[in-house]
């Protein structure tokens, strides 16, 4: 008997894509109240039946039409559970969207229910009169929710998973709840990827995790911060300076950009890191990362910038100089050397700046500011570039296939970058859904006697789908 799959709170299609990668076909039903989200979903999953309305306005019995539901996936709005909401009041109606899962269980009883949310979902409880979580009742509503599913005949379990463990180049961690009523066990997928330095990777048990460097489109230029028509604001410059000090200058193994990219720009090496545009901590903590690890969690705004430093080899006995001396001759690519040196001096440290005739502040261990040593070879920074990451890079970081459509909807209407980024930040990394479905519903996946399936995300000729048995 043919069983259907439903993706509620479908968004731009992250969970649907992961499910499709597992079972080899589109989900049957997708539900979301946002027309823009449904439009992106339609562009990538045209075979799916779409409902653009509130999840509460959709009657499960009318949608199912008597068919058995193998899986119903829920990704209810997480903002009013997340600590990222900060000091703002919560909305009980938004926090309660997960109850729609119990409604589906009570009316059409899917064999398997999967729910994804932030890890704080487990703390779901009543709100105080002023709209904030009641710390004395933390987790009370969550327990009621779990018991409601159990009363409908479901066995329930939950866990926290990290996307980089399953092949996505992001450390995004999420809460997952699985409920099933078919008597089969709930299974949590074993990690497939890990730290390259771990024993599991070195012995071949796991693949090395995918890194932020892999999602960077190195064909895109990274313009100099010194040649902008509108200068960067001081906060951004300080962020860049602190990142340069931590991830490049004071890093024994800075990330070196691919040769194919740097060859089209300056001579010498190009080193890079990611700057993170979240609000700074009180002690001006550096927010950013090197590129040889998975990218940090993405949200609905573009918070990441690629920062590059262009280097030239030190010549002869040239080991740098105090900024109070005349600058030495720079023969290649050194258009900004003096400016870079002054920039680093001014913006590193407390961010208050200093005059260049004084000793460097708060840097007692390295007086050759702007000097980078790579594999024993000394280099000088001669330019600094910066650009924000593009939407297709952010989607790649979430683990979406490279040919996923993000720049237009099903009717060909173009999406602005802000809308693309919003869809990305709200999305479920597809590898989560793929691995959860493979281990819990293997009978639906190709190779288990399933009917013919298509491989939408396998690279083929334009407009064609690959098919497999």
Q: How confident is the model at residue 305 (pLDDT cuts 50, 70, 90)?
A: confident
What whole-number distance in Å separates Cα of residue 270 and Cα of residue 222? 11
Please answer whether residues 404 and 284 qualify as being in contact, where contact means their C-beta atoms are separated by less than 8 angstroms: no
In three-state form (DSSP H/G/I as H, E/B as E, the rest C), the secondary structure along 79-135 is CCCCHHHCCCCCCHHHHHHHHHHHHHHHHCCCCEEEEEECHHHHHCCCECCCCCECH
Please answer whether residues 390 and 220 qualify as being in contact, where contact means their C-beta atoms are separated by less than 8 angstroms: yes
Tokens of 246: 């931590």
Instruction: Please report the pLDDT score of residue 191 as a whole number.
Output: 96
Question: Among 135, 147, 56, which residue's Cα sits nearest to residue 93?
Answer: 56
**Neighbour count for residue 450 (Cβ, 10 Å):** 16
Tokens of 398: 């979430």
Give me the mean pLDDT over the 362-388 stretch.
72
Instruction: Please report the pLDDT score of residue 52 as a whole number.
Output: 94
Does 172 score more than 80 pLDDT? Answer: yes
Cα torsion through 14, 16, 21, 25, rounded to 10: -150
Does 268 score more than 90 pLDDT? Answer: no
pLDDT digit string, tens, across residues 104-144: 999 999 999 999 999 988 988 888 888 787 888 888 999 99
Distances (CA, A) of 426 to 361, 394, 397, 410: 42, 12, 13, 19
Question: Among 295, 279, 269, which residue's Cα sits nearest to residue 239?
Answer: 279
Question: Among 248, 226, 228, which residue's Cα sits nearest to residue 348?
Answer: 248
Catalytic residue among 72, 78, 222, 424: 78
**Neighbour count for residue 414 (Cβ, 10 Å):** 9
Rg (CA), the chain: 26
Residue predicted with more confidence, 87 or 421: 421
Q: Is 368 left (phi over 0), alpha (psi -120 to 50) or beta?
A: beta
Give me the mean pLDDT over the 431-458 stretch.
82
pLDDT digit string, tens, across residues 310-326: 887 765 544 444 434 44
First CA to last CA distance, the chain: 19
What whole-number distance in Å separates Cα of residue 180 and Cα of residue 3? 15
What whole-number distance in Å separates Cα of residue 262 and Cα of residue 281? 34
Q: Is 177 left (phi over 0), alpha (psi -120 to 50) or beta?
A: beta
Decide: residue 381, CB within 10 A, 0-12 exposed, 13-18 middle, 19+ buried. buried
Distances (CA, A) of 284 to 158, 260, 388: 36, 35, 21
Give me the mean pLDDT over the 89-98 stretch.
73
What whole-number distance in Å separates Cα of residue 160 and Cα of residue 430? 16
Query: 51 by DSSP, 3-state: which?
Result: strand
Q: Is 13 left (phi over 0), alpha (psi -120 to 50) or beta?
A: left
Please answer whether residues 126 and 145 qualify as being in contact, where contact means their C-beta atoms are separated by less than 8 angstroms: no
What whole-number distance in Å separates Cα of residue 284 and Cα of residue 300? 23
Query: 254 by DSSP, 3-state: which?
Result: coil
What whole-number distance in Å separates Cα of residue 166 and Cα of residue 164? 5
pTM (two decimals): 0.85
What whole-number distance in Å separates Cα of residue 42 and Cα of residue 52? 11
Does 244 score more than 60 pLDDT? Answer: yes
The angle at the Cα of 279, spanning 124 to 81, to the nearest 5 degrees, equals 10
Domains and CATH numbers, the chain: 3-208+399-468 (3.40.50.150), 234-389 (no CATH)
Beta strand 3-8 pairing with 29-31: parallel
What whole-number distance in Å separates Cα of residue 18 and Cα of residue 263? 37
**Average pLDDT over the chain, rounded to an integer:** 81
* 445 included as an active-site residue: no
């Amino acid at each position: 008997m043919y069983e259907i799959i439903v993706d509620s709170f479908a968004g731009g299609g992250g969970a649907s894509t992961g499910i499709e990668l597992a079972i080899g076909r589109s989900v049957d039903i997708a539900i979301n109240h946002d027309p823009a989200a449904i439009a992106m979903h339609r562009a990538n999953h045209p075979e799916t039946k779409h409902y653009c309305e509130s999840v509460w306005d959709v009657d499960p019995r009318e949608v199912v039409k008597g068919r058995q539901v193998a899986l119903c996936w829920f990704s209810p709005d997480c903002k009013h559970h997340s600590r990222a909401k900060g000091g703002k009041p919560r909305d009980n109606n938004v926090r309660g969207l997960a109850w729609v899962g119990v409604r589906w269980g009570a009316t059409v009883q899917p064999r398997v229910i999967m729910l994804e949310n932030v890890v704080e979902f487990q703390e779901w409880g009543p709100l105080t009169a002023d709209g904030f979580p009641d710390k004395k009742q933390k987790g009370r509503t969550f327990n009621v929710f779990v018991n409601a599913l159990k009363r409908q005949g479901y066995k329930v379990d939950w866990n926290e998973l990290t996307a980089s463990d399953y092949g996505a180049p992001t450390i995004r961690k999420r809460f997952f709840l699985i409920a099933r009523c078919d008597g089969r066990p709930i299974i949590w997928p074993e990690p497939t990827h890990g730290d390259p330095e771990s024993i599991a990777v070195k012995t071949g048990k796991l693949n090395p995790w995918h890194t932020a460097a892999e999602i960077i489109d190195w064909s895109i230029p990274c313009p100099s911060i010194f040649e902008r028509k509108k200068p960067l604001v001081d906060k951004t410059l300080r962020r860049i300076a602190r990142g340069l000090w931590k991830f490049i200058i004071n890093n024994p193994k800075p990330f070196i950009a691919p040769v194919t990219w740097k060859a089209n720009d300056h001579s010498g090496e190009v080193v890079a890191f990611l700057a993170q545009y979240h609000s700074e901590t009180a002690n001006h903590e550096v927010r950013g990362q090197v590129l040889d690890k998975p990218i940090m969690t993405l949200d609905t705004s573009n918070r990441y910038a690629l920062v590059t430093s262009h280097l030239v080899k030190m010549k002869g006995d040239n080991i740098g100089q105090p900024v109070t001396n005349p600058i030495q001759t720079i023969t290649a690519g050194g258009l900004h050397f003096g400016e870079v040196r002054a920039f680093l001096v001014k913006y590193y440290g407390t961010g208050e700046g200093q005059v260049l005739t004084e000793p460097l502040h708060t840097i007692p261990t390295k007086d050759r500011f702007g000097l980078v040593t790579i594999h024993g070879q000394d280099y000088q920074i001669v330019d600094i570039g910066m650009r924000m990451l593009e939407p297709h890079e952010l989607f790649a970081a979430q683990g979406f296939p490279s040919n996923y459509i993000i720049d237009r909807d099903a009717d060909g209407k173009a999406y602005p970058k802000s809308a693309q980024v919003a869809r990305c930040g709200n999305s479920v990394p597809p590898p989560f859904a793929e691995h959860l479905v493979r281990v819990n519903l293997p009978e639906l996946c190709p190779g288990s006697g399933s009917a013919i399936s298509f491989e939408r995300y396998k690279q083929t000729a334009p407009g064609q789908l690959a098919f497999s048995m």
